[in-house]
Amino acid sequence: MRSPTLCLSTLLACALAGMSAPAWAQAPSPASSPAASSTVAVPAPDEGLRELAPAPGGYRYNAGGRRDPFMSLVRRGGAAKEDEAKRKQGIEGLMISELALQGIVKTVDGYIAFFAGPNGKSYWVKNNQRFYDGQLIGIDATTATFKQEVSDPLNPVKTRDVKKYLYPSEEATQ
């Protein structure tokens, strides 16, 4: 009941003040209805884009040797594909995190580790073998120890030791 009273009082106040009624209170004029006119004004397709385009000689961002603040810091799929293109074939192109220790064999010369790669191939690896992101530095009866190169520019530590265990239960106790 309050809403119609408010509407009528607004119309009455506008009429007394000599103003036209608000657009929501006016009846549509016959000229503005689409049925009355056969032509409808349609904006040009580029009209909205012209407003957003910078004026000639307008502002342009210049990085000046700095990192572009509008680029994502998260590596995109394109960067990962470039990484894969740089990798060597075989064991030297595999990352340490991609390897799974399957077995260790003791020989006269020392231990040899048996790894499974992500490509379904198996590899026999001795000490000092290079990988894409590190090197195997030691093998004992149950573990293989790697020196992994850390590629985080914000981390002051550039290498870390990574151990792969032959028995997963042994890894949990360490």
Q: Decide if 162 contacts 150 (C-beta within 8 A).
A: no
The residue extents of the domains of the chain are 96-173
Of the candidates 159, 112, 111, 116, the one whose C-alpha atom is nearest the C-alpha of residue 134 is 159
Does pTM top 0.75 for this prediction? Answer: no
Q: Decide if 144 contacts 113 (C-beta within 8 A).
A: yes
Residues (pLDDT < 50) of the chain are: none
- Residue 59 is predicted with a pLDDT of 72
Options 1.10.580.10, 3.40.50.720, 3.40.50.80, 2.30.30.830; CATH of 96-173: 2.30.30.830
